[in-house]
Amino acid sequence: MESAVKRIGVLTSGGDAPGMNAAIRAVARTASKLGIECVGIRRGWAGLINGDIMMMEHGSVSHIINRGGTMLYTARSDEFRTEEGLKKAAATCKLLGLDGIVAIGGDGTFRGARELSQYGVAVVGVPGTIDNDIVCTDYTIGFDTAANTAIDCIDRLRDTMQSHERCSVVEVMGRHAGYLALYVGMAVGATAVLVPEEEYDFKNNVAEKIRRARLSGKTNFMIVVAEGAASAVDVGKQINDELGLDPRVTILGHIQRGGVPTAKDRVMATRMGYEAVCALAAGKTNRVICSNDDKIYDVDIEEGLAMKKTLNPEEYEVMGVMSGI
Protein backbone atom coordinates (compact mmCIF):
# COMPACT_ATOMS: atom_id res chain seq x y z
CA MET A 1 0.00 0.00 0.00
CA GLU A 2 1.38 3.39 -0.98
CA SER A 3 2.29 5.67 1.91
CA ALA A 4 0.22 8.80 2.48
CA VAL A 5 3.47 10.62 3.28
CA LYS A 6 4.60 12.58 0.21
CA ARG A 7 7.22 15.00 1.52
CA ILE A 8 9.37 15.07 4.67
CA GLY A 9 12.03 17.35 6.13
CA VAL A 10 15.31 16.46 7.81
CA LEU A 11 17.35 18.65 10.15
CA THR A 12 20.24 18.49 12.61
CA SER A 13 20.03 20.42 15.86
CA GLY A 14 22.18 21.09 18.92
CA GLY A 15 25.80 20.01 19.08
CA ASP A 16 27.15 18.37 15.94
CA ALA A 17 28.34 14.76 16.05
CA PRO A 18 30.40 12.68 13.61
CA GLY A 19 28.00 10.51 11.62
CA MET A 20 25.24 13.09 11.26
CA ASN A 21 25.97 13.32 7.53
CA ALA A 22 25.59 9.56 7.22
CA ALA A 23 22.17 9.85 8.86
CA ILE A 24 21.13 12.70 6.53
CA ARG A 25 22.23 10.58 3.58
CA ALA A 26 20.21 7.62 4.79
CA VAL A 27 17.09 9.76 5.26
CA ALA A 28 17.34 11.30 1.78
CA ARG A 29 18.02 8.02 0.01
CA THR A 30 15.41 6.02 1.90
CA ALA A 31 12.83 8.70 1.13
CA SER A 32 13.81 8.60 -2.54
CA LYS A 33 13.43 4.82 -2.61
CA LEU A 34 9.95 5.08 -1.09
CA GLY A 35 8.85 7.81 -3.51
CA ILE A 36 8.89 10.51 -0.84
CA GLU A 37 10.34 13.96 -1.47
CA CYS A 38 12.97 15.09 1.03
CA VAL A 39 13.63 18.68 2.08
CA GLY A 40 16.85 19.51 3.90
CA ILE A 41 16.34 22.11 6.62
CA ARG A 42 19.46 24.12 7.35
CA ARG A 43 20.45 25.33 10.85
CA GLY A 44 18.07 23.18 12.87
CA TRP A 45 14.84 24.47 14.34
CA ALA A 46 15.88 28.05 13.57
CA GLY A 47 16.02 27.12 9.90
CA LEU A 48 12.56 25.58 10.08
CA ILE A 49 11.19 28.81 11.49
CA ASN A 50 12.91 30.88 8.78
CA GLY A 51 12.30 28.50 5.88
CA ASP A 52 16.03 27.93 5.26
CA ILE A 53 15.71 24.85 3.04
CA MET A 54 17.16 22.86 0.16
CA MET A 55 15.73 19.99 -1.87
CA MET A 56 17.54 16.71 -1.36
CA GLU A 57 17.64 13.83 -3.79
CA HIS A 58 19.59 10.59 -4.10
CA GLY A 59 22.56 12.27 -5.76
CA SER A 60 22.62 15.37 -3.54
CA VAL A 61 23.97 13.34 -0.61
CA SER A 62 26.78 11.60 -2.49
CA HIS A 63 30.23 11.63 -0.87
CA ILE A 64 29.09 12.89 2.53
CA ILE A 65 29.06 9.61 4.48
CA ASN A 66 32.75 10.06 5.33
CA ARG A 67 32.52 13.71 6.33
CA GLY A 68 32.35 14.95 9.90
CA GLY A 69 30.02 17.72 11.01
CA THR A 70 26.69 18.22 9.24
CA MET A 71 26.07 19.47 5.71
CA LEU A 72 22.80 21.00 6.93
CA TYR A 73 24.62 22.99 9.64
CA THR A 74 23.26 23.13 13.15
CA ALA A 75 22.17 25.76 15.62
CA ARG A 76 20.27 26.32 18.81
CA SER A 77 17.13 28.44 18.73
CA ASP A 78 15.71 30.36 21.68
CA GLU A 79 12.77 31.43 19.51
CA PHE A 80 11.79 27.81 18.90
CA ARG A 81 11.32 27.38 22.66
CA THR A 82 8.50 29.93 22.60
CA GLU A 83 4.90 29.37 21.57
CA GLU A 84 5.28 31.95 18.79
CA GLY A 85 8.36 30.17 17.47
CA LEU A 86 6.63 26.78 17.47
CA LYS A 87 3.69 28.27 15.58
CA LYS A 88 6.06 29.72 12.96
CA ALA A 89 7.78 26.36 12.56
CA ALA A 90 4.44 24.58 12.18
CA ALA A 91 3.34 27.22 9.65
CA THR A 92 6.51 26.57 7.61
CA CYS A 93 5.72 22.85 7.59
CA LYS A 94 2.24 23.61 6.34
CA LEU A 95 3.50 26.04 3.69
CA LEU A 96 6.05 23.52 2.37
CA GLY A 97 3.64 20.61 2.59
CA LEU A 98 5.85 18.62 4.94
CA ASP A 99 4.13 15.50 6.22
CA GLY A 100 6.82 14.86 8.81
CA ILE A 101 10.22 15.83 10.21
CA VAL A 102 13.26 13.68 10.98
CA ALA A 103 15.16 15.53 13.73
CA ILE A 104 18.75 14.39 14.33
CA GLY A 105 20.23 15.49 17.65
CA GLY A 106 20.16 15.05 21.39
CA ASP A 107 17.77 15.41 24.29
CA GLY A 108 16.96 19.07 23.59
CA THR A 109 16.26 18.29 19.94
CA PHE A 110 13.78 15.60 20.95
CA ARG A 111 12.01 17.84 23.43
CA GLY A 112 11.62 20.41 20.67
CA ALA A 113 10.24 17.73 18.35
CA ARG A 114 7.75 16.67 20.98
CA GLU A 115 6.52 20.25 21.37
CA LEU A 116 6.22 20.71 17.60
CA SER A 117 4.15 17.53 17.31
CA GLN A 118 1.45 19.21 19.39
CA TYR A 119 0.85 21.48 16.40
CA GLY A 120 0.03 18.55 14.15
CA VAL A 121 3.49 17.84 12.71
CA ALA A 122 4.63 14.21 12.64
CA VAL A 123 8.14 13.89 14.12
CA VAL A 124 10.74 11.16 14.51
CA GLY A 125 14.01 11.72 16.38
CA VAL A 126 17.36 10.15 15.56
CA PRO A 127 19.89 10.23 18.46
CA GLY A 128 23.03 12.12 17.48
CA THR A 129 25.30 13.24 20.34
CA ILE A 130 28.82 12.34 21.40
CA ASP A 131 27.68 12.23 25.05
CA ASN A 132 25.67 8.99 24.54
CA ASP A 133 23.21 10.31 27.13
CA ILE A 134 19.87 9.64 25.41
CA VAL A 135 18.09 7.52 27.97
CA CYS A 136 16.13 5.22 25.68
CA THR A 137 19.02 4.00 23.54
CA ASP A 138 22.28 2.23 24.28
CA TYR A 139 24.05 4.08 21.49
CA THR A 140 24.01 7.55 19.96
CA ILE A 141 25.61 8.64 16.69
CA GLY A 142 29.03 10.23 17.20
CA PHE A 143 30.01 8.54 20.45
CA ASP A 144 32.40 6.02 18.91
CA THR A 145 34.24 8.61 16.84
CA ALA A 146 34.52 11.05 19.75
CA ALA A 147 35.81 8.30 22.03
CA ASN A 148 38.42 7.19 19.51
CA THR A 149 39.51 10.78 18.93
CA ALA A 150 39.98 11.31 22.68
CA ILE A 151 41.79 7.98 23.05
CA ASP A 152 44.19 8.83 20.23
CA CYS A 153 44.98 12.22 21.80
CA ILE A 154 45.50 10.72 25.27
CA ASP A 155 47.71 7.94 23.92
CA ARG A 156 49.96 10.62 22.42
CA LEU A 157 50.00 12.54 25.70
CA ARG A 158 50.85 9.39 27.62
CA ASP A 159 53.99 8.87 25.55
CA THR A 160 55.43 12.17 26.71
CA MET A 161 54.10 11.80 30.27
CA GLN A 162 55.93 8.46 30.55
CA SER A 163 59.12 9.96 29.16
CA HIS A 164 59.09 12.78 31.70
CA GLU A 165 57.46 10.79 34.55
CA ARG A 166 54.67 13.31 34.93
CA CYS A 167 50.97 13.50 35.74
CA SER A 168 48.51 14.45 33.02
CA VAL A 169 44.99 15.78 33.58
CA VAL A 170 42.81 15.57 30.48
CA GLU A 171 39.35 17.14 30.22
CA VAL A 172 36.89 15.52 27.83
CA MET A 173 33.37 16.58 26.91
CA GLY A 174 30.40 15.60 29.06
CA ARG A 175 28.67 18.51 30.77
CA HIS A 176 25.89 16.44 32.31
CA ALA A 177 26.98 12.87 31.58
CA GLY A 178 30.14 10.88 32.17
CA TYR A 179 29.68 8.06 29.65
CA LEU A 180 32.41 9.37 27.35
CA ALA A 181 34.86 10.02 30.19
CA LEU A 182 34.40 6.60 31.79
CA TYR A 183 34.63 4.78 28.46
CA VAL A 184 37.75 6.69 27.43
CA GLY A 185 39.29 6.37 30.88
CA MET A 186 38.95 2.61 30.77
CA ALA A 187 40.36 2.44 27.24
CA VAL A 188 43.50 4.45 28.11
CA GLY A 189 44.10 2.83 31.51
CA ALA A 190 43.54 6.05 33.45
CA THR A 191 44.59 6.33 37.09
CA ALA A 192 41.29 8.05 37.89
CA VAL A 193 38.14 9.21 36.11
CA LEU A 194 35.87 12.03 37.29
CA VAL A 195 32.24 12.07 36.12
CA PRO A 196 29.27 14.40 36.82
CA GLU A 197 27.20 11.52 38.21
CA GLU A 198 29.53 11.24 41.22
CA GLU A 199 30.24 14.13 43.59
CA TYR A 200 33.82 15.28 43.24
CA ASP A 201 36.03 14.49 46.25
CA PHE A 202 39.68 15.28 45.58
CA LYS A 203 41.07 13.22 48.44
CA ASN A 204 39.25 10.00 47.53
CA ASN A 205 38.77 10.41 43.78
CA VAL A 206 42.23 11.68 42.88
CA ALA A 207 44.84 12.03 45.62
CA GLU A 208 44.49 8.58 47.15
CA LYS A 209 44.45 6.92 43.73
CA ILE A 210 47.65 8.68 42.69
CA ARG A 211 49.31 7.76 45.99
CA ARG A 212 48.37 4.10 45.64
CA ALA A 213 49.54 4.06 42.03
CA ARG A 214 52.88 5.57 43.09
CA LEU A 215 53.27 3.00 45.89
CA SER A 216 52.69 0.26 43.33
CA GLY A 217 55.64 1.55 41.31
CA LYS A 218 54.06 3.91 38.77
CA THR A 219 55.79 7.21 38.05
CA ASN A 220 53.29 8.72 35.60
CA PHE A 221 49.56 9.22 36.10
CA MET A 222 46.60 9.93 33.81
CA ILE A 223 43.49 11.63 35.20
CA VAL A 224 40.46 11.87 32.88
CA VAL A 225 37.89 14.53 33.79
CA ALA A 226 34.43 15.04 32.28
CA GLU A 227 33.88 18.78 31.87
CA GLY A 228 30.77 18.65 34.04
CA ALA A 229 32.51 16.89 36.93
CA ALA A 230 35.24 19.41 37.66
CA SER A 231 37.61 21.87 36.01
CA ALA A 232 40.74 20.10 34.79
CA VAL A 233 42.69 23.28 35.59
CA ASP A 234 41.45 23.24 39.20
CA VAL A 235 42.18 19.52 39.52
CA GLY A 236 45.70 20.11 38.24
CA LYS A 237 46.24 22.92 40.75
CA GLN A 238 45.05 20.71 43.62
CA ILE A 239 47.41 17.95 42.53
CA ASN A 240 50.27 20.43 42.56
CA ASP A 241 49.31 21.97 45.92
CA GLU A 242 48.56 18.77 47.82
CA LEU A 243 50.78 16.15 46.18
CA GLY A 244 53.72 18.23 44.99
CA LEU A 245 53.46 16.96 41.42
CA ASP A 246 53.70 19.23 38.38
CA PRO A 247 50.75 18.07 36.23
CA ARG A 248 50.14 19.00 32.62
CA VAL A 249 46.53 19.96 31.87
CA THR A 250 44.99 19.35 28.45
CA ILE A 251 41.44 20.34 27.48
CA LEU A 252 40.45 18.44 24.35
CA GLY A 253 37.35 20.56 23.73
CA HIS A 254 35.63 20.57 20.36
CA ILE A 255 38.28 18.48 18.66
CA GLN A 256 36.21 15.53 19.90
CA ARG A 257 33.27 16.54 17.71
CA GLY A 258 35.22 16.71 14.48
CA GLY A 259 36.94 14.30 12.16
CA VAL A 260 36.07 11.38 9.92
CA PRO A 261 33.33 9.22 11.50
CA THR A 262 34.26 5.65 12.36
CA ALA A 263 32.73 2.66 10.59
CA LYS A 264 30.46 2.07 13.58
CA ASP A 265 29.09 5.60 13.50
CA ARG A 266 28.54 5.46 9.74
CA VAL A 267 26.68 2.15 9.91
CA MET A 268 24.59 3.02 12.96
CA ALA A 269 23.67 6.42 11.49
CA THR A 270 22.65 4.78 8.23
CA ARG A 271 20.48 2.18 9.94
CA MET A 272 18.85 4.77 12.21
CA GLY A 273 18.16 7.20 9.36
CA TYR A 274 16.57 4.41 7.34
CA GLU A 275 14.37 3.38 10.28
CA ALA A 276 13.28 6.98 10.88
CA VAL A 277 11.92 7.38 7.34
CA CYS A 278 10.20 3.99 7.52
CA ALA A 279 8.50 5.08 10.74
CA LEU A 280 7.16 8.28 9.14
CA ALA A 281 6.09 6.37 6.02
CA ALA A 282 4.13 4.01 8.26
CA GLY A 283 2.21 6.94 9.70
CA LYS A 284 4.02 7.05 13.04
CA THR A 285 4.75 10.21 15.00
CA ASN A 286 6.33 11.19 18.32
CA ARG A 287 8.91 8.43 18.01
CA VAL A 288 12.62 8.14 18.84
CA ILE A 289 14.85 5.67 17.00
CA CYS A 290 16.75 3.45 19.45
CA SER A 291 19.45 0.82 19.40
CA ASN A 292 19.72 -2.03 21.88
CA ASP A 293 21.49 -5.37 21.41
CA ASP A 294 22.25 -4.30 17.82
CA LYS A 295 18.54 -4.02 17.03
CA ILE A 296 17.09 -0.77 15.66
CA TYR A 297 13.52 0.12 16.60
CA ASP A 298 11.38 3.09 17.66
CA VAL A 299 9.82 4.04 20.98
CA ASP A 300 7.35 6.72 22.02
CA ILE A 301 9.14 10.01 22.59
CA GLU A 302 7.40 10.58 25.94
CA GLU A 303 8.38 7.14 27.14
CA GLY A 304 11.94 7.62 25.91
CA LEU A 305 12.45 10.98 27.61
CA ALA A 306 10.98 9.68 30.88
CA MET A 307 13.49 6.83 31.17
CA LYS A 308 16.48 7.12 33.52
CA LYS A 309 19.94 6.26 32.26
CA THR A 310 22.77 5.56 34.69
CA LEU A 311 26.42 4.76 34.26
CA ASN A 312 27.24 1.07 34.03
CA PRO A 313 28.36 -0.05 37.52
CA GLU A 314 30.34 -2.90 35.97
CA GLU A 315 32.54 -0.38 34.18
CA TYR A 316 33.33 1.28 37.52
CA GLU A 317 34.28 -2.08 38.98
CA VAL A 318 36.43 -3.02 36.01
CA MET A 319 38.08 0.41 36.09
CA GLY A 320 39.12 -0.16 39.70
CA VAL A 321 40.49 -3.63 39.02
CA MET A 322 42.46 -2.56 35.98
CA SER A 323 44.07 0.38 37.80
CA GLY A 324 44.96 -1.88 40.72
CA ILE A 325 43.26 0.46 43.18
Residue type, 129: T
Architecture (CATH level 2) of domain 147-257: 3-Layer(aba) Sandwich (3.40)
**Residue length, the chain?**
325
Low-confidence stretches of the chain (pLDDT beneath 50): 1, 325
Where does 178-322 show beta strands of DSSP type E? Answer: 192-194, 221-226, 248-251, 287-292, 295-300
Quote the crossing angle between the two packed helices 232-243 and 208-215, to the nearest 10°: 60
Q: What is the pLDDT of residue 284?
A: 96
Structural domain boundaries of the chain? 7-142+261-306, 147-257
Strand partners, 296: 291
Architecture (CATH level 2) of domain 7-142+261-306: 3-Layer(aba) Sandwich (3.40)
Q: What is the pLDDT of residue 236?
A: 97
φ/ψ of residue 168, rounded to 5: -120, 135
For residue 138, CA distances in Å to 49, 94, 151, 172 come to 32, 34, 20, 20
Distance CA 126, CA 23 (A): 8
Distance CA 199, CA 181 (A): 15
Q: What is the pLDDT of residue 1?
A: 44
Q: What is the pLDDT of residue 323?
A: 64
Q: What is the pLDDT of residue 324?
A: 56
Number of C-beta neighbours around residue 80 at 10 A? 22
Strand partners, 226: 172
Q: What is the pLDDT of residue 191?
A: 94
Contact in structure between 230 and 194 (CB atoms under 8 Å) = yes
Q: 129-163 burial, b if ≥16 CB within 10 A, otherwise e?
A: bbbbbbbbbebbbbbbbbbbbbbebbeebbeebee
Contact in structure between 184 and 154 (CB atoms under 8 Å) = yes
Among 52, 131, 144, 265, which one carries the catalytic annotation? 131
- Assess whether 131 carries a catalytic annotation: yes
